[in-house]
Amino acid sequence: MPSRSKFYDPSKGKYFNPKVDRRVAIVTGGNSGIGWYTVLHLYLHGYIVYIAGRTESKVLKAIEDIKKEANKRIDAYSKEEQEERHLGSLTYIYFDCLDLSTVAACAKNFAKKEEKLDLLINNAGLMGVPYEETKDGYEIQYQVNFVAPFLFTLELLPNLKAAVTNGTPRVIMLSSIGHRASYKYFDPTNKVNCTPNFMYTWVRYGIAKVAEIHFAKKLAELYPNILSFAVHPGVIIGTELYNHWKNLPVIGGFYKGSLNVVGRVAGVGLEEGSLATLRAAFDPELENENGAYLETGGVIAKPTSVATTKDNIERTWEYNVEELRKKGFLTAFEA
C-alpha cells in the first residue's frame, strides 16, 4: 500500500456551480460503503448525482445522511470557500445488477432526464459468494461486477459522447487487486464452477475484476474522447462485501480474525477507499493516462499480464457484446 502522503486529496478537484456549469454523474451502489463517500464528494463539488440502486428506501436514507454530512463539512469551510463552493443535487434512479433488463431500462430512463453524462462510476459490486447463476444466465459475480456495468456503460455512450462539449467525460470501473486471483485467462464461456469453493469463489471474483480492467482499456482505445479507468480502492474491512465469509459456521470466526489482522496492517477506511475513484473522476493530470489502472489512494499501478494482454481484452469485449445482443440488448450499439 502506498504511503498515505501519496493519497489523492479530493479538495484539489474542480468545484462547479450547477446553476452555471451543470455536471452530471451516475454512481451505482452509491448508498453505502465507498460509494457513499464518493457521492458525498461529488455532491460537495457541485455535481448533479444520480444514485443508481435497487432499494429506494435505502438510497433515500443515504441521500438524507449524505446531505447532513455535507452540511457539517461546509460549516468547517472558510468564508471564501463557502462563497466559492456550491452543492449539487442527489437523485435516486432504479437499477439492479441482478436483472439486466433493469440496467438497460435505467439507461433509457436517465436519457429521458438528462442529455449529457459527464461521469459514470460503476461502483456496485459483489464479492466472495458461492457459485450461482443469475436469471440472465451468467455466473453471479461476473454479471454483477462486470456484465451489468458493461451493458450500462454501452447503453449510456450517447450521453457520454454528448458531454464532450463540457470537457472530457469519464467512466470508472471499480475493479480490485483481487483481479490477481484470476491466475490465467478464463474464456468468458467458462463459468468456472469448481471446487474447492474456498479457492474458486475468489477465482471467479478475479475473473470479473480482470474483465473490468479489459473493458476500461478497450473503451480507452475505441473512445479516446472519453477517459476510462479501472481502480482498486484498497483493502477495506468496514464493508458488507465480506459478509458471506464472516457469517459461515466455524470458518467465519477464523475469517473475521484474519480480516482484523489484515485491516490493521494494510487496511484503509471507507472514505480513504473512495480516493482512487475520486482521483480518476477529478484529476486533470490523468487526461494523458486513458485506460490506466489506479490502486489505493489513487496511485497509478500496473495490473497483471492477464489483465493487459491484447488478445484477452479483445476476447472479453467481443464475446460480451455478442452475448448481450443475443439476449436482445445493445440493438442500437455500434462500436
**Catalytic residue annotation:** 175, 205, 209
Burial of 72 (0-12, 13-18, 19+ CB in 10 A): exposed
CB atoms under 10 Å from CB of 327, counted, come to: 15
User: Residue 154 burial by CB count (10 A; 0-12/13-18/19+): exposed, middle or buried?
Assistant: buried
Alpha carbon distances (Å) from 42 to 11, 60, 66, 159: 11, 17, 11, 19
C-alpha cell, 240: 458488507
- Grid cell, residue 281, equals 473522476
Instruction: Read off the C-alpha cell for 77.
Output: 469551510
Containing H/E element for 181?
none
Residue 6 CB coordination number (10 Å): 11
Q: Specify the length of the chain in residues.
A: 335
Distance CA 309, CA 321 (A): 19
Distance CA 33, CA 119 (A): 19
